[in-house]
């Protein structure tokens, strides 16, 4: 008798907007707690805004529309009282062996990887980003069976590529991180968790006295765009393109996670029986639409399909900042 | 964004896949909404990729004439820069910069070569090679 060539843990794949909220909500659902992606995102208080000029990517500063990687998994499990088992490894072979052992024990696990070395990613979508998350639910011969939350179908990745992706070095190095939840309550009371999440996010967005964070950060970036030197157009285009990519392309569900958060607020309105939250969700949707228009204008200006107009882009961002500011303040008053 | 307004512009980078957005339906209720491409995203993605291609082809030219090393070409080819390569090898930036010069690259020790190869997904021998076209 030889070991079966395939180990498969039945896993329900559901596509998500964002990798981390997607993985955690499907892992919890797999373990008996049905929680939507927006709920996972909102409870963990993952929405944010930060302009981090000291972190450079390809020479351009970081514009973050959410809290740092790892935040959702930690925040959600903490507020739900679920213990997350996490393992990292020094040696790649140990990481691969542990993954195989979990699969053999019938456990689907989440792992952190680099997005660049995953062979199933379309080549044009591969960039060196070390904090991608996905679920491994089986192995067939030399191929791992993967439920990648940002991809619409189930995918496979050869063992060597996956090992490489799990053990890249550098910023946010995954170190082979592998995780799965411990016992999960089937019907926890989400209400206190929702409230805490909203209080944290709104506090972060309007009450942190740091100019690069929250709505202050959005205003600061608006000012930077307004003051861009027209003689440096080639560089400015790269910068604007970079901003739009951070906002739209990197799995945000549209408008830099604003739509995802508005969807959470709708669910929260029903859960807490506070119709005001649904009205605020509608307003956040409108702000999201403005973010999308900003992205479209900036992209067209980069491509030369629209005249470059820094003032117009800056004004759009100021509008978003002002609107978000009032929304978060009202939201905070509502759940306090 | 309304569900009916979710762009479906078939981005070639998605290769037939679609990504998930969140949008509101007729009743104003949020629901997941697939999107197979949007003009704005496609423009900025093309722009980012074109920048890597430009850097790689400049490095290819330099390596051709001996003014640069093949390592520099492979670095840009794998969508990295000095900062990223330093982070993914664990070497100091100034040492990476030095190693990118043709003379220093030729004298590289076998173990350093291997670390570069590892970070770039190439065998140490492949680092010396240059394709016929950038």
Question: How many Cα atoms are found within 13 Å in the side-chain-facing hemisphere of A74?
Answer: 6
Residue A1: pLDDT band (50, 70, 90) is very low
Q: Phi, psi (5° rounding) for residue A187?
A: -135, 70
Residues contacting A261, CB < 8 A, separation 6+: A38, A41, A42, A47, A201, A284
Are the Cβ atoms of A241 and B44 closer than 8 angstroms?
yes
Chain center to CA of A334 = 26
Output the pLDDT for position A186.
83
Q: By the 8 A CB rule, do A224 and A213 touch?
A: no
pLDDT higher than 50, residue A2: no
pLDDT digits (tens, 9 = 90+) for A53-76: 999 888 899 999 999 999 999 999
**Contact pairs from chain A to chain B, CB under 8 Å:** 132
Helix (H) and strand (E) counts for chain A? 11, 9
Output the pLDDT for position B112.
96
3-state secondary structure of A174: coil
Are the Cβ atoms of A244 and B79 closer than 8 angstroms?
no
Q: By the 8 A CB rule, do B31 and B104 touch?
A: no
Output the pLDDT for position A49.
97
pLDDT digits (tens, 9 = 90+) for B89-131: 999 999 999 999 999 999 999 999 999 999 999 999 999 999 9
pLDDT digits (tens, 9 = 90+) for A195-228: 999 999 999 999 999 999 999 999 999 999 999 9
Are the Cβ atoms of A59 and B18 closer than 8 angstroms?
no
pLDDT higher than 80, residue A258: yes
Q: Is B27 on the interface with A (CB under 8 A)?
A: no
User: Tokens 């065998």 identify what position?
Assistant: B123
Output the pLDDT for position A249.
87
* Nearest Cβ partner for A299 among B12, B13, B43: B43
pLDDT higher than 60, residue A10: yes
Composition of chain B by helix, strand, coil, percent to 5: 55, 10, 35
Specify the DSSP class assigned to residue B3.
G
Q: Whole-angstrom Cα distance, residue A311 to residue A63?
A: 19
pLDDT digits (tens, 9 = 90+) for A302-322: 999 999 999 999 999 999 999
Q: Whole-angstrom Cα distance, residue A19 to residue A172?
A: 15
* Nearest Cβ partner for A303 among B14, B21, B43: B43
Rg, chain B, Cα only: 21
Are the Cβ atoms of B20 and A16 closer than 8 angstroms?
yes
Whole-model pTM: value is 0.94
Q: Whole-angstrom Cα distance, residue A41 to residue A44?
A: 6
Output the pLDDT for position A5.
73
Q: Whole-angstrom Cα distance, residue B119 to residue A303?
A: 33
> How close A124 gets to chain B, by Cα (Å)?
5
* Nearest Cβ partner for B44 among A124, A153, A302: A302
């Amino acid at each position: 008798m030889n070991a079966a060539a395939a180990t498969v843990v039945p896993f329900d794949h559901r596509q998500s907007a964002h990798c981390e909220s997607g993985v955690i909500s499907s892992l919890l659902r797999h373990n008996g707690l049905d929680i939507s992606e927006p709920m996972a995102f909102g409870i963990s208080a993952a929405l944010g805004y930060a302009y981090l000029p000291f972190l450079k990517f390809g020479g351009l500063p970081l514009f973050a529309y959410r809290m740092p990687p790892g935040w959702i998994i930690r925040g959600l499990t903490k507020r739900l009282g679920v213990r997350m088992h996490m393992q990292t490894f020094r040696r790649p072979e140990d990481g691969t062996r542990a993954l195989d052992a979990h699969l053999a024990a019938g456990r689907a696990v989440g792992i952190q990887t680099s997005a660049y070395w995953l062979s199933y990613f379309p080549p044009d979508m591969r960039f060196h980003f070390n904090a991608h998350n996905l679920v491994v639910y089986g192995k067939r011969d030399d191929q791992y069976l993967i439920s990648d939350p940002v991809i619409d179908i189930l995918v496979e990745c050869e063992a060597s590529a996956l090992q490489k992706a799990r053990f890249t070095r550098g910023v946010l190095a995954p170190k082979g991180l592998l995780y799965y939840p411990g016992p999960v309550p089937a019907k926890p009371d989400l209400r206190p968790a929702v409230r805490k999440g909203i209080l944290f996010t709104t506090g972060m967005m309007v009450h942190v006295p740091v100019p690069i964070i929250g709505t202050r950060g959005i205003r600061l970036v608006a000012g930077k765009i307004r003051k861009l030197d027209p003689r440096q157009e080639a560089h400015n285009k790269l910068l604007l393109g970079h901003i739009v990519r951070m906002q739209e392309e990197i799995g945000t569900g549209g408008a830099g996670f604003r739509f995802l958060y508005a969807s959470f607020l709708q669910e929260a309105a029903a859960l807490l029986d506070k119709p005001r939250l649904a009205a605020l969700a509608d307003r956040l949707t409108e702000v999201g639409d403005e973010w999308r228009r900003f992205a479209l204008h900036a992209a067209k200006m980069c491509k030369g399909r629209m005249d470059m107009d820094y003032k117009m882009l800056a004004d759009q961002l100021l509008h978003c900042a002002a609107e978000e500011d009032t929304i978060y303040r009202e939201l905070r008053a509502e759940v306090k | 964004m309304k569900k009916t307004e979710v762009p479906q512009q078939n981005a070639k980078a998605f290769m037939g896949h679609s990504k998930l957005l969140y949008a509101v339906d007729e009743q104003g209720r949020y629901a997941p909404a697939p999107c197979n491409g949007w003009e704005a995203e496609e423009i900025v993605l093309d722009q980012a990729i074109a920048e890597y291609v430009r850097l790689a082809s400049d490095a290819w030219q330099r390596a051709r004439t001996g003014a640069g090393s093949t390592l520099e070409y492979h670095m840009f080819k794998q969508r990295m820069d000095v900062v990223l390569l330093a982070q993914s090898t664990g070497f100091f930036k100034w040492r990476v910069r030095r190693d990118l010069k043709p003379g220093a690259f030729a004298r590289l020790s076998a173990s350093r070569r291997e670390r570069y190869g590892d970070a770039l997904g190439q065998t140490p021998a492949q680092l010396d090679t240059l394709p016929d076209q950038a």
